[in-house]
A and B are shown apart, each in its own frame.
Chain A
Amino acid sequence: MTPPSRNPTNADIVIAGLGMTPVGEHWNLSLRELALQAITAALEDAAGLRPNILYVANMLSPMLSGQTQLGALIADFSGMRGVEAVTVEAAGASGGAAMRQAELAIASGSADLALVVGVEKMTDRVSSDVESALSTASDVDYEAVQGATRTAQAALLMRRYLHEHEAPTDALAGFGLIAHANAVANPLAMFRKAISPEAYAKAPMLSEPVTIFDAAPNADGAAAVLLARRGVFPENPDRPTVGILGSAVATAAPALHDHDDPLTLTAAARAAETAFQRSGLSTEDVDFFELHDFFSVYAAMALEACGFASRGTGWKLAQDGKGSRDSELPILTFGGSKARGDAGGATGVYQIAEAALQLQGRAGEAQVAGARIGMTQCVGGSGGTCATHLLGVLEVD
């Protein structure tokens, strides 16, 4: 498979506005109300621009809220009745995949303004229901029906990772420590409290060796990003213009056992390679990386798949100060899924909104100094879908 040499979306698409709700247990807010809050904030941020098309990123609504057709539901509830709207679902990669669809809609010429809202509502149901719903992202006939839940599979992977790479038992602790330390600066984060290596070592076990500090909390939340064709609308003079430099979605076998090497995220490698190619960038250009740390082992594997570390050494990029906000490659700058909270299909949209805030210099206490190019990547299931984005500050013409 050879990707097109030039990305049709390359720098022709800019971020016109963004909005996010706090991530957490929103027992008083329904799916549509969460989406409305994020959309209202994003459209206000875009100084009143209105979208021609709406993409809703969501994974679990049919199972946990009993609601399909979120495109129509949320368009209607947000005062956009009549607009073209659909749901994009790719498990934990839904957010990045929906962004990619919005970019293609603009690139195709059918829309000048495309709105993406990622929304997920998990905490209205008991945890066994949620774990069961999450396991539908596996190859159900072969995995979920055997009782191989997402957490159980992450435990198998983590054990294999530590064994095969001869890594210490606390090798993956760095990801949780960085996430929690960074979330202190994120007012929207679920857990704004740093944790210590001692706390990590004593954390309750979920599925050995995965502890609660290796696993992201399931949460409610919504994030919205309005994309615009560049040059059609006036740009906000008060902040740098941030554009989509390259993006890609790639897939792999949803079943873990169908991977030649379960410790390699092949879809992540493909999506990153394609996005780099489309943007003309390389790993060296990336100032920070919002990766998907739904389990700590996936954070390490993402760094390896995307070319930031060689196989088996990804965990070292979260050791000895590496990965922190003032390091060479900051990761999880707003707390990542571990501490910001993982709002399922909304994750990819949160990542892009957070990356945009960094590049616009609007990250507040979470600011990565001098960030010009940021990368985001979200993962569906155990690596079946990966969506990668490269965003950057655009030069004024």
Chain B
Amino acid sequence: MTEASPIPMLRPNLEVGIVGYGAYVPRYRLPAREVSRVWKGGTGGTPIEEKAVPGLDEDVITMSIEAARSALARAGIDPSQIRAVWVGSESHPYAVKPTSTVVAEAIGATPHTQAADWEFACKAGTEAVQAAIGFVGSGMARYALSIGMDTAQGRPGDALEYTAGAGGAAVILGPAEESLAIFESSYSYSTDTPDFWRRANESYPEHGERFTGEPAYFEHISAAGSALLKSLGAEAQDFTYAVFHQPNAKFPERAARALGFTPEQTKPGLLVRRIGNTYAGSSMIGLAAVLDVASPGDRILLVSYGSGAGSDAFSLKVTEHITSRRDKAPTVEAYIARRTEIDYATYARYRGKLTLK
């Protein structure tokens, strides 16, 4: 069925799929024109329409718990059956002390569980998915919960401030027969490419400007995506949907075009214009939005990107379980529609950008 390929695809012993998924987007929205108004005198273009901003009482832990509860509602499983709670983020509230143990406790997955926080810039979430495929696919666990969630950082006045948003998604992986979408194959591609980073104890990331494009984002997305397609003997038109990491609107559109995908295939999962770049949550919430509208038999390509740098690529096939489970939790669109616009001053307060002492 597949062509012989020298590139090693990742395939577990047992077939693995997604048994439940859930998303979260905080209520507040900062229009990009507000950033432009404050920093550029209202001149120049804006890379997106607006971004989602977390409230004063929200962080990656609370947001992950809500997404995980939705995933559990859709999976319909007993949380004590979960053997791993893994949270990928660039915004873990603690440097030392896991986000994942708080999440695991809150959803009732403790104590017979693995718990760990993942870090790989914007692909920390899909890295946790890749690991969960191994955990479930080896038979070590029946279920594993992987989350990509962020309250993204962007230095005030930096180009990233327009897009650094908040949100993400959780997926519970389990046996294929219980799944609403089954992993056909996956692949990871990583190199030492320093395009974007945040050092310990720094509040905001730094980046290499245009270096984040060609040799970083495009090289890794394209390498991972095309290798996976080739190993499957598949082409873009064999997929119903494609989701790419979305730091802005232009990058994923160009990456999709380069791999042969049409705007129709990417539109349902392309959320960046309305919620911003949710860093480790970005490609995963795109997948959640696609699952919200997918039909049994649909194929989905998911390719993440994390600076530093790497991409995880997944091919998924949607099963008939999607129809009965989809409505058991809020859709991504429902979260996006729940919208309260704020100005830059309110945003500065909510995000702790005013130093009070």
Listed in ascending order, the chain A residues whose CB lies under 8 Å from chain B are 25, 27-28, 123-124, 126-127, 204-205
- Is B209 a contact partner of A27 (Cβ separation < 8 A)? no
What is the interface size of chain B, counting residues whose CB is below 8 A from a CB of the partner?
8
Give A204 to B40 CA distance when docked, in angstroms.
Answer: 12
- Is B215 a contact partner of A27 (Cβ separation < 8 A)? yes
A129 to chain B, nearest CB (A): 10
- Is A127 a contact partner of B43 (Cβ separation < 8 A)? no
- Contact A205/B215 with A123-B210, A126-B209 known, Cβ cut-off 8 Å: no
Chain A contacts for B210, CB-based, 8 A? 25, 123
- Contact A28/B215 with A123-B210, A126-B209, A127-B209 known, Cβ cut-off 8 Å: yes
B313 to chain A, nearest CB (A): 23
- Is B214 a contact partner of A25 (Cβ separation < 8 A)? yes
CB < 8 Å: which of B43, B44, B208, B214 contacts A126?
B208
Task: Please give me the residue from chain A that is nearest to B209 by CB atom.
Answer: A126
- Is A204 a contact partner of B215 (Cβ separation < 8 A)? no
Beta-carbon contacts of B197-215 to A below 8 Å, as 1s and 0s? 0000000000011110011
Chain A contacts for B208, CB-based, 8 A? 126
Chain B contacts for A124, CB-based, 8 A? 211
CB < 8 Å: which of A25, A123, A205 contacts B43?
A205
Q: A25-B210, A25-B214 known; 7 other A-B pairs, CB under 8 Å?
A: A25-B211, A27-B214, A27-B215, A28-B215, A126-B208, A127-B209, A205-B43
B222 to chain A, nearest CB (A): 15
Give A204 to B45 CA distance when docked, in angstroms.
Answer: 9
A51 to chain B, nearest CB (A): 34
Chain B contacts for A205, CB-based, 8 A? 43
- Can you sample 15 A-B contacts with CB below 8 Å? A25-B210, A25-B211, A25-B214, A27-B211, A27-B214, A27-B215, A28-B215, A123-B210, A123-B211, A124-B211, A126-B208, A126-B209, A127-B209, A204-B44, A205-B43
Tell me whether chain B's interface is mostly helix, strand or loop, or mixed.
helix
Chain A contacts for B214, CB-based, 8 A? 25, 27
Give A205 to B43 CA distance when docked, in angstroms.
Answer: 9
B216 to chain A, nearest CB (A): 9
Give A124 to B208 CA distance when docked, in angstroms.
Answer: 8
Give A25 to B209 CA distance when docked, in angstroms.
Answer: 12
Give A27 to B309 CA distance when docked, in angstroms.
Answer: 15
B335 to chain A, nearest CB (A): 34
Give A70 to B215 CA distance when docked, in angstroms.
Answer: 27
Give A365 to B43 CA distance when docked, in angstroms.
Answer: 39
Which 6 A-B pairs rank lowest in CB-CB distance, beginning with the nearest?
A27-B215, A126-B209, A127-B209, A204-B44, A27-B211, A126-B208
Give A123 to B215 CA distance when docked, in angstroms.
Answer: 12
Chain B contacts for A27, CB-based, 8 A? 211, 214-215
A-facing residues in B167-211 (Cβ within 8 Å): 208-211
Task: Please give me the residue from chain A that is nearest to B210 by CB atom.
Answer: A25
Task: Please give me the residue from chain B that is nearest to A125 by CB atom.
Answer: B208
Give A204 to B215 CA distance when docked, in angstroms.
Answer: 25
Give A124 to B195 CA distance when docked, in angstroms.
Answer: 11
Chain A contacts for B215, CB-based, 8 A? 27-28
B83 to chain A, nearest CB (A): 43
Task: Please give me the residue from chain B that is nearest to A130 by CB atom.
Answer: B209
Give A123 to B213 CA distance when docked, in angstroms.
Answer: 13
Give A28 to B44 CA distance when docked, in angstroms.
Answer: 31
Give A370 to B44 CA distance when docked, in angstroms.
Answer: 45
A98 to chain B, nearest CB (A): 29
Task: Please give me the residue from chain B that is nearest to A128 by CB atom.
Answer: B209
Give A127 to B159 CA distance when docked, in angstroms.
Answer: 13
Give A127 to B207 CA distance when docked, in angstroms.
Answer: 11
Task: Please give me the residue from chain A that is nearest to B195 by CB atom.
Answer: A27
Give A127 to B208 CA distance when docked, in angstroms.
Answer: 9
A-facing residues in B219-245 (Cβ within 8 Å): none
Kindly name the residue among A124, A126, A204, A205 whose own CB sees the greatest number of chain B CB atoms within 10 A: A126
Give A360 to B194 CA distance when docked, in angstroms.
Answer: 44
Give A25 to B218 CA distance when docked, in angstroms.
Answer: 15
Give A123 to B210 CA distance when docked, in angstroms.
Answer: 9
A115 to chain B, nearest CB (A): 31
Task: Please give me the residue from chain A that is nearest to B215 by CB atom.
Answer: A27
Give A126 to B44 CA distance when docked, in angstroms.
Answer: 20
Chain B contacts for A25, CB-based, 8 A? 210-211, 214
